[in-house]
Amino acid sequence: MKKLSRYRLRVAAVAACLTLMCALAGTVAARVYNGALLYYLVIGAAFLAFTIGFLLRNKPTWLSATISFWSLALGLVGSFLLTADGTQPVPTMVLDALVNAVPRTLTALIPVEATPDTVGVPVFLTWLAATLACELAIRYGRTLLGCLPPTLLYAAGLYLVGPNATPVIVLTLAYCLLAAAALAVTSAPPERRPESDAAVDSAVPGRAAALAGSIFGAVLLLVAVVALAPVAARLVSTSPGDPRELVEPPQLTDIDLNPLVRIAEWAKYPDQELFKADIDADAWMRLAVLTEYDGVTWQASGDFRTAGSVLPSSGEGAFGADIEIIELGGKLVPAVADPATVTDLPIAVNLYTRALLTPDGLATGQKYHVGSDLVTVDPEAATSARPDLSDPLTIAPPLAPPEIMATIADYIRSEYDTPYEQAQGLADFFGEHYAYDAEAPSGHDLPALGFFLGNPAEAGGQRGTSEQFAASYAIIARLIGLPTRIVVGFEVPSGSSTVTAAQGQAWPEISFDGVGWVRFDPMPGEGVAPIPPEDTLEDLEEEPTPEEADDGSGGENPEDFNDDSLENDPDFTDESSEAASAVPTWAWWAAGPVLLACVPFILKARRRMRRRRRLRQGGPAARVAGAWAETINAASRAGVKATAQTNAEETAASLAPLEGDIGALPRLVNQAAFAPGSVNSADADEAARIALAFCRHCDARVRRWRRWLT
């Protein structure tokens, strides 16, 4: 009986180690979940599954598998009920969780909210690993094989976490120690496993050798872990892949891909009730944030990723808003920026714009709560801040914009100095020179905006909805050099109210360094008669009247300059005049070679004057362009043909045979072309320095006779 007790103690020790290993492996994935609920679920699944297998270890396999299966089903349903919100019937909720468990678990953003469709996979895999480990190690006595299922579960948890959690060395060491302990106290083989009423033979051969081998294997495992730890650390120093990138994100409908087109519909039916809102204070609720423009439509950048009730990279969400949908439609979800928590609605979030989407679409009567962190802007800081040019998507203007846009951009640059003044001045220009018209047709492609800006009012131009105002403002601001985006949303008062289509609006925002996105209003005021924009822009286009040249007459009439007495003087004849002005022929022959010898000096002087004008005169952007022109001319003199019409990077690549260093000049050229307002004097001086050094390098490669003649 003493031998039997020791054997059972070994079996119990192995079972305890493997149970803890399964529990630890299950909690690896729980590190990216919000709250501690999933920890309890996977630990409970590991202990319950192993307990059932351990108690039925001496029963038929089919009985153990049947009881374990139905226990797993009850465990899954119980976990679904613990994480459900109670809005769906239980059968519907269970079926939805089972069908969508894998895709929603992989697409959920961090931290993952513990919901029925995100807890099913971890609970199921933990249960399966514990059951297989118990069967292999306890029923069949194969402890090493029994360590394989929890190890695979551990690896699956690491894959699910990806780069979204920090390493936990203590957890890994604890797992390895448990595996070593299980191998060290492993049970006897099946042919020598005693039943509950059997006796243990005291003369079991090889017992000491088996024990020594187990101890040696455990020590060897620990030594291998310690020895290979630095190597493994170097191998995993790079960030692991994220499985969420392999899953297709939620798709937008046509109405959500281009939400600007909804402005015209809302303007025609201003009394349409869209949703009810109960918010803590007056606020602008965002529906969509649009950053990319291809000349036809404005669209949002980035993908939407499934998230739980707590959105990633957010605060506490102290500003509350309760929403009930009426006739809004679509998948985009209105919320006050920046949303931090969303309850009672499945949510996907765009981490680039912080806009929200519900994968199943909005339905009438749907209610949800949004907790937001209000975005505040310091007006004083914005007035003196520089534009934030870190994101190329927000500063890229469209190709070939209408001429009227470039004209307005030149006018704003000439009238205002600082970026903030230019942004506000552009908004004031729209408010003073264009009119609002609820009946204006939808459209924000370049031809439609050119018609809106340039055609006279009697021909249907110069009036539109906030769609045309916001789109035109954003494009012209990018021509000035300001980073812009368009937001579609609603102006909602504090308290409880019904938001109608009349409150729907599009507005532009400009990003300032250290301040963030600032909203500007280009819409005209009520009852204000617009001034035709051509009246203001014509003043810019008019050339200054040149002063009349001084003819030296002292203001007298020069008509009577001829003197009749001189004409009648016999000594004043045409012949004498010609004789006085005649030049000897030999002088012309002598002057010809002198003038020919002066041609190289004239060309050199002309080139130096042109270089001085290009590098020192005009604004910073014009000086950068002049430096680029000098660089291309110098390369042409050295035998490498390049034109200023090609892309700056392509032109720079074509200059490689000259082996000259043009440094950051291509970047400055692109910056001056796409955002001229962002180029300062220091940039222009740097471009001039690079161009002069390159010109000297190219002159050294030119042959001496050509260098002297040209």
Rounded mean pLDDT, 300-322: 78
Q: How far is CA 271 from CA 21, 256, 335, 542, 632, in A?
A: 62, 22, 21, 47, 61
Q: How far is CA 407 from CA 404, 438, 450, 534, 569, in A?
A: 5, 27, 12, 10, 62
Q: How many CB atoms lie within 10 A of CB 10?
A: 17
Nearest to 312 by CA among 512, 492, 165: 165
Residue 247 pLDDT = 59
Strand stretches in 450-529, DSSP E: 463-464, 484-492, 495-500, 504-512, 516-519
Residue 583 pLDDT = 59
Residue 560's pLDDT band (boundaries 50, 70, 90)? Answer: very low
Residue 474 pLDDT = 95
Residue 165's pLDDT band (boundaries 50, 70, 90)? Answer: confident
Q: Could you give the CA distance from residue 290 to residue 82 in angstroms, rounded to a whole number?
A: 39
Tell me which of 491 and 696 has the higher pLDDT: 491
The dihedral built from the CA positions of residue 324, 325, 331 and 333, taken in this order, carries a sign that is negative
Q: DSSP code of 667? A: H
Measured distance between the N- and C-terminal CA atoms of the chain, rounded to whole angstroms: 112
- Per-residue burial over 260-286, b if 16 or more Cβ lie within 10 Å, else e, is bbbbbebbeeeeeebbebebeeebbbb
Q: pLDDT above 70 covers what percent of the chain?
A: 79
Threshold 0.85, pTM exceeds: no
> Which distant-in-sequence residues (6+ apart) come within 8 Å of 183 by Cβ?
143, 144, 147, 214, 217, 218, 221
> Which distant-in-sequence residues (6+ apart) come within 8 Å of 608 by Cβ?
none
Tell me which of 699 and 490 has the higher pLDDT: 490
Nearest to 218 by CA among 262, 260, 182, 264: 182
Taking a C-beta distance cutoff of 8 angstroms, is the pair 149, 133 a contact? yes
Amino acid at 593: P
pLDDT tens profile 342-401: 888 888 888 888 899 988 889 999 999 999 988 888 878 888 899 998 888 898 888 889
Q: Where in the chain is the domain with CATH 3.10.620.30?
A: 380-541
The total number of residues shown for the chain amounts to 710
CATH of range 380-541; options 3.30.43.10, 3.40.630.10, 3.20.20.140, 3.10.620.30: 3.10.620.30
Q: Could you give the CA distance from residue 383 to residue 553 in angstroms, rounded to a whole number?
A: 55
Q: Could you give the CA distance from residue 583 to residue 577 in angstroms, rounded to a whole number?
A: 12
Residue 38's pLDDT band (boundaries 50, 70, 90)? Answer: confident
